[in-house]
Chains A and B, each alone.
Chain A
Amino acid sequence: MPEMTVLDHRNDPAAAVPGWRPGATAPRTDPAPLLPDAEPLRVLGTPAADAADPALLRELYRRLVAGRRYNQQATTLTKQGRLAVYPASTGQEACQVAAALALRPDDWLFPSYRDTLAVVARGVDPLQALTLLRGDAHTGYDPRATRTAPLCTPLATQVPHAVGLAHAARLAGDDTVALALLGDGGTSEGDFHEGLNFAAVLHAPVVFLVQNNGYAISVPLTRQSAAPTLAHKAVGYGMPGRLVDGNDALAVHRVLTEAVERARTGGGPTLVEALTYRIEAHTNADDATRYRQAEEVEAWRAHDPVRLLEDALRGRGLLDEQLVADAAERAEQLAARMRAEFHTDPELDPMSLFAHVYAEPTQQLCEQAGQLAAELAAEAEVHGR
């Protein structure tokens, strides 16, 4: 053991004032209550699951089954060239669905690009949630009407947005809560840290859910963070960190409901880390076999969120044939709608390029709109249209 440095306190102002530390103007708080539990919270398969509301369990099941099918169909659509890209959330359905269901309709969701299922769980039309990835419009839904921010492609930049919105809601006297979703890679970005710090300092009613799926494209968590868990990062900002099994829909729903309620009633922000796994590659353009072993994927398949929920429902005698058939039919109807809707290219108005750059287009934009209109007219003449 190295010899400890003995400080000379004779000229140290700290020695004169008990409890003083450099820069401190606020009492030092005990970090212990903020620390996450040693093990992620699990509810499914424990006695606590027996107390869960059957209606909630059924709803989660229907949505998870539909979400799994949505992921499959969207991935197929990329292979047919009907979607430009799709980052599947197969294996992460429980995180997204259960988190979104913990919100009230007037709360706000700030999703990242892999969170289409959360967006759909908010009530956004499943096809409108895909326009970004289809490539016909950046955001196919009305964020204000659905209280759902655009799917965010830059990492973690939506985190301070959620903080600012929650702060503004609190100033307005509303008990609205904002929920920001992000991945493990996003926790390395500056905006994540700045956002969490702002949230804690402003005591904003916001919840951050990190879906830790193990990889940021190809970079494993060990290369992403040296923290004991990502939930531990909360402590340094002065907010509680919670750790949850992200494949356990009931556990995610419980932790998020508690965090949202805490925010709503003036308790301030919470950082939740959900441990999950991305069964598919980062997107259809990625080759995950280059950076991870099949055994690892198989191990996580055995911890599948849909199967975990099925087992729990079965254990309570809630998985009747009616529910299975109903969930399967809803999922197939959704997939059929996706196939039908994306069968053809959408008719897009080229002039819409200039529609929403400014409230009033500049003179230069008007000229460019004229240029495009002339090009289109010339093209139409050539093609006899």
Chain B
Amino acid sequence: MSTVAGERTGPRTGTMAQALNLALRDAMRADKTVHVLGEDVGALGGVFRITDGLTAEFGPDRCLDTPLAEAGILGTAVGMAMYGLRPVVEMQFDAFAYPALEQLFSHVAKMRNRTAGKLPLPITVRIPYGGGIGGVEHHSDASEAYYAATPGLHVVAPATVGDAYGLLRAAIASDDPVVFLEPKRLYWGKDGWDPAAPVEPIGRAVLRRPGTSAVLVTYGPSLPVCLEAAEAAKAEGWDLAVLDLRSLVPFDEATACAVVRSLGRAVVVHESAGFGGAGAEIAARLTEKCFHHLAAPVLRVTGFDVPYPPPMLEHHHLPGVDRILDAVARLQWEE
């Protein structure tokens, strides 16, 4: 083994892809029951190289190149988990997960409930998630609403390098199934982070930027866009807070409500379609719980209600700084 433990502790600078790779590596080192499986995860190290080197270090049984069949991959992981393993499944691209949805919805999400707690399934389903990388169709879907609407699943979406490491470690350690959405356009962004730093548990939101005028509530790939929008809004006299939910299930209602009540104005931002999207649920909840504190309706900025567009048009679909600022302007609500 080339890397010693001492080299891996302490702060460093790296990409989200490296952080995810290290999270898998550290989880596999710490727990022999952690097994990675999926298409191309072996010699290739995954098409995004998230599983790079795992087969070399842990062998082809612990990091298993499978036949190309997503239902088979996830269904096999169910059986492995029933026998006491902690499978980490890679779905190569978001829309490629759809053949496995029956396994996810009918079995992964329900097995604990179906068996009155006798067969919990500690499965992590990693899904490279969302658009913005110029992928052709079926390579950029953002389907978190399907997963979040399915009781029994946790739905986690990191937005920072540190969270990518910490939340993936937490997901793998979770005794319940976790759909782990990796914002693929953030894979190559570098940041400082510390693998040894304590990780906030899944289900806790983090205020990434304090503010006094309104709050942008977001997660995953939209976080950097919101931070940029908050910076740009300063010129227009708005001091925007940015809340990173980090997970949709559990939804950290307490933190979100506290921020919204204190500021009275909120915009929910995500890149997937708006109708029936996660933002609809969040906005409804915030309105129900914070109505008397609101100076304006909770607004949503989302992708359009269209199938994910061809790459040359995706910049029109994905919420950008201008669309967010337009919504912020509408928070100056007048009847």
Are A and B genuine complex partners? yes
Q: Which residues of A contact B (CB under 8 A)?
A: 108, 137-139, 142-145, 149-150, 154, 157, 159-169, 171-172, 178, 190-191, 194-195, 197-198, 201-202, 355-359, 362-364
- Contacts beyond the supplied A167-B79, A195-B72: 16 A-B pairs with Cβ under 8 Å: A138-B114, A139-B118, A149-B82, A154-B107, A157-B75, A160-B103, A161-B75, A163-B76, A164-B81, A165-B79, A165-B82, A171-B61, A194-B67, A356-B113, A356-B116, A363-B254
- Can you list 29 contacts pairing A with B, beta carbon distance less than 8 Å? A138-B113, A139-B114, A142-B115, A145-B118, A157-B106, A157-B107, A160-B75, A161-B76, A161-B107, A162-B79, A163-B72, A163-B75, A163-B79, A165-B79, A166-B79, A167-B76, A167-B79, A168-B80, A169-B83, A171-B85, A178-B79, A194-B72, A198-B69, A355-B116, A357-B113, A357-B151, A358-B176, A359-B174, A362-B251
Contact assessment for A358 and B112 in the assembled complex, using a CB-CB cutoff below 8 Å: yes
Within the complex, the shortest CB–CB distance from B87 to chain A, in Å, comes to 8
B224 in contact (CB, < 8 A): no
Contact assessment for B116 and A137 in the assembled complex, using a CB-CB cutoff below 8 Å: yes
Chain A residue numbers with a CB within 8 Å of B69 are 190, 194, 197-198
Q: Binary interface profile of B, 57-69, with partner A (CB < 8 Å = 1, else 0)?
A: 0000100001101
- With both beta carbons as reference points, the residue of chain A lying nearest to B110 in the complex is identified as A138
Known: A138-B113, A139-B116, A362-B250. A198 touches B80 (CB 8 A): no
Chain B residue numbers with a CB within 8 Å of A167 are 76, 79-80
B242 in contact (CB, < 8 A): no
- With both beta carbons as reference points, the residue of chain A lying nearest to B78 in the complex is identified as A161
Known: A154-B102, A161-B82. A363 touches B175 (CB 8 A): no
B152 in contact (CB, < 8 A): yes
Chain B residue numbers with a CB within 8 Å of A139 are 114-116, 118
- With both beta carbons as reference points, the residue of chain A lying nearest to B153 in the complex is identified as A358
Contact assessment for B71 and A194 in the assembled complex, using a CB-CB cutoff below 8 Å: yes
- With both beta carbons as reference points, the residue of chain A lying nearest to B82 in the complex is identified as A165
Contact assessment for B67 and A197 in the assembled complex, using a CB-CB cutoff below 8 Å: yes
Q: Which of B44-101 contact A (CB under 8 A)?
A: 61, 66-67, 69, 71-72, 74-85, 87, 99
Chain A residue numbers with a CB within 8 Å of B117 are 355-356
Which 5 residue pairs are nearest across A and B when measured between Cβ atoms?
A164-B79, A160-B75, A194-B72, A165-B79, A168-B83
Q: Report how far A364 CA is from B84 CA in the complex, Å.
A: 29
Chain A residue numbers with a CB within 8 Å of B116 are 137-139, 355-356
- With both beta carbons as reference points, the residue of chain A lying nearest to B177 in the complex is identified as A358
Contact assessment for A194 and B75 in the assembled complex, using a CB-CB cutoff below 8 Å: yes
Q: Which residues of B contact A (CB under 8 A)?
A: 61, 66-67, 69, 71-72, 74-85, 87, 99, 102-103, 106-107, 111-120, 151-152, 154, 174-176, 203, 249-251, 253-254
Q: Report how far A163 CA is from B71 CA in the complex, Å.
A: 12
A-B contact count (CB 8 A): 141
Known: A201-B67, A364-B253. A150 touches B114 (CB 8 A): yes
Within the complex, the shortest CB–CB distance from A223 to chain B, in Å, comes to 22
Chain B residue numbers with a CB within 8 Å of A357 are 112-113, 151-152
Q: Report how far A357 CA is from B151 CA in the complex, Å.
A: 7
Chain A residue numbers with a CB within 8 Å of B80 are 164-165, 167-168
Q: Report how far A27 CA is from B102 CA in the complex, Å.
A: 35
Among candidates B83, B114, B120, residue contacting A359 with C-beta atoms closer than 8 Å: B120
Known: A157-B107, A161-B82. A356 touches B250 (CB 8 A): no
Contact assessment for B112 and A190 in the assembled complex, using a CB-CB cutoff below 8 Å: no
Q: Report how far A168 CA is from B249 CA in the complex, Å.
A: 29
Q: Report how far A355 CA is from B112 CA in the complex, Å.
A: 10
Contact assessment for B76 and A160 in the assembled complex, using a CB-CB cutoff below 8 Å: yes
Chain B residue numbers with a CB within 8 Å of A162 are 79
Within the complex, the shortest CB–CB distance from A367 to chain B, in Å, comes to 9
- With both beta carbons as reference points, the residue of chain B lying nearest to A140 in the complex is identified as B116
Q: Report how far A318 CA is from B254 CA in the complex, Å.
A: 72
Q: Report how far A112 CA is from B2 CA in the complex, Å.
A: 48
Within the complex, the shortest CB–CB distance from B109 to chain A, in Å, comes to 9
Contact assessment for A161 and B79 in the assembled complex, using a CB-CB cutoff below 8 Å: yes
